[in-house]
Amino acid sequence: MRSKARYTQTIQKWAGSLSLKGSLLFVGKLIFIVLQGHSSNIKEYIKLQRSSNVDVDSRGKKCKERMMSILHQGSHKERGEIRVILDSRFEEEGFTDFSVIECSSQPQVEDIFQRAELLPLYQEHILPVLTSSK
């Protein structure tokens, strides 16, 4: 990613317009996007992420996301569909809005998932990526 501000602004705009909750987490060179909302809105988000310009290349030209992988998709309790995508604000259950968080440590990422009551997702999908990237 060459333009973090543009990338962040684009992701926030899409999440807001599609009524998605969750978080954009920057962890070193890794990016995790956790989305929570209606499945049709999440599908539309995925379509936007793959087909729209989200960054700029080394020459300053707009470019599409090419490195996105879906790590998990499914339902969690009665909170709606959740997808964790590779690339803080919480209620007692899940996310209350969409936030952008710079994470400086693995325990900080774990705490975010724990407070959102999504620790099993962290342990199964996020932790392995974090530990393999060291």
pLDDT digits (tens, 9 = 90+) for 58-97: 888 888 887 788 888 877 555 555 555 544 333 335 677 8
The arithmetic mean of pLDDT across residues 112-121, rounded, is 89
Q: Using the structure block, give the residue that is written with the tokens 């049709």.
A: 40
**CA geometry: angle 5, 56, 105, nearest 5 deg:** 45
CATH number at residue 31: 3.30.70.100
Domain count, the chain: 1
Contact 88, 22 (CB under 8 A): no
Are 56 and 3 a contacting pair, CB within 8 Å?
A: yes
Closest CA to 118 of 39, 35, 31: 35
pTM metric for this prediction: 0.82
Give the domain extent around 12: 4-132
The residues, any chain, with a CB within 8 Å of residue 127's CB and separated by 6 or more, are: 106, 110
Question: 74 or 1, which is more confident?
Answer: 74
Going by pLDDT thresholds of 50, 70 and 90, the confidence category of residue 24 is very high
**What percent of the chain lies above the pLDDT cut of 70?**
84
| 133 pLDDT more than 90 | no
Over 50: is that where the pLDDT of 100 sits? yes
Say if residues 54 and 20 touch (Cβ distance below 8 Å).
no
